[in-house]
Amino acid sequence: MRVDVLTLFPEMFQGPMTESMLWKARDRGLLDLRLHQIRDFTTDRHRTVDDTPYGGGGGMIMKPEPVVAAVEAVLADAPPGTPVILMTPQGRVFSHQIARELARYEQIVLVCGRYEGIDDRVRQLVITDELSIGDYVLTGGELPAMVVIDAVVRHIPGVLGAEGAADRDSHADGVLEGPQYTRPPVFRGLEVPRVLQEGNHAAVARWRREEGLRTTWRNRPDLLLRARLSDDERYLLAKFAREDAGKR
Ligand code: ADE
């Protein structure tokens, strides 16, 4: 998969994109990451990328010409239908499902905004989607772009071993993953749950689902409204609710 990133700060991608899983994906030819300096697409002597906002208000706005020129240059040899995604706090909220959908494309383009925003004509002319990574405002779209790349790349076949299949992740089906343990069997008096030590696969799967459900109930009850649950699982939720009522 090819990912083109348009940014004023390509150096920010050193480190996150050259370590661990992402480096392995690039090394194996599964991820072709190309960073483009938006400033290289300016045509004036001062290489200007920003200007003051029409209508006043503080801050600087990214000028449309270099961003649109950069997008058009990248799209010149991209497959038709390649998504051009603006990272912005005004976008729809990024999720596991969106990551999985994006991983199906041969190529995607991520545009990182900076300063107080980007001239809206960029969105009108070349942007196909706008993504936010959460309900808070960062100083730019670079960290969000790295978050999107990391989450998308995990869905490319061959990036994770079979053991780490992304379809079993937290968020894959609306129920979070439960707790995990490794050796030693007892640490500071806390024992690894018996069922995990005994290794009965069906019992382990049942325990994991129940504990995942418990974690979701405790930390993200909002997810349960959309989760696909069996009758047994609904029964368990009712049990957690009774336990909570007993604590109050
Ligand atoms: N740029 C600034 N804040 C952002 C956010 N939360 N998501 C995506 N891009 C952003």
Would you state the pLDDT for residue 164? 64
The residue assigned the tokens 């670079």 is 142
As a whole number of angstroms, the distance between CA 217 and CA 211 comes to 10
Which amino acid belongs to residue 238?
Answer: A
As a whole number of angstroms, the distance between CA 222 and CA 136 comes to 19
Domain with CATH 1.10.1270.20 in the chain: 186-246
Domain with CATH 3.40.1280.10 in the chain: 2-153
Instruction: Over range 182-203, report the average pLDDT.
Output: 97
Q: Which of 26, 53, 83, 116 is catalytic?
A: 116
3-class SS of residue 229: coil
pLDDT per residue as tens digits for the range 125-179: 999 999 999 999 999 999 999 999 999 999 999 998 765 678 878 888 889 999 9
Local confidence band at 195 (pLDDT 50, 70, 90 cut-offs): very high
Would you state the pLDDT for residue 161? 78
198 carries an active-site annotation: no
What class, spelled out in words, does domain 186-246 have in CATH? mainly alpha
Our answer on whether the CB atom of 135 is closer than 6 Å to any ligand 1 atom is no
157 carries an active-site annotation: no
169 carries an active-site annotation: yes
pLDDT per residue as tens digits for the range 215-226: 999 999 999 998
- The 3-class secondary structure across the chain, one letter per residue, is CEEEEEECCHHHHCCCCCCHHHHHHHHCCCCEEEEEEHHHHCCCCCCCCEECCCCCCCCCEECHHHHHHHHHHHHCCCCCCCCEEEEEEEEEECCHHHHHHHCCCCEEEEEECCCCEECHHHHHHHCCEEEECCCCCCCCCHHHHHHHHHHHHCCCCCCCCHHHCHHHCCCCCCCCCCCCCCCCCEECCEECCHHHHHCCHHHHHHHHHHHHHHHHHHHCHHHHCCCCCCHHHHHHHHHHHHHHHHHC
CATH number 3.40.1280.10 is the correct assignment for the domain at 2-153: yes
Our answer on whether the CB atom of 136 is closer than 6 Å to any ligand 1 atom is yes
Instruction: Over range 199-206, report the average pLDDT.
Output: 96
Pocket test for ligand 1, best of 5, 95, 137 (most atoms within 8 A of CB): 137
Residue 128, both tokens: 């196909």
Cα 89 to ligand 1 centroid, rounded to whole Å: 4
Residues 6+ apart with CB under 8 A from 173: 227, 228
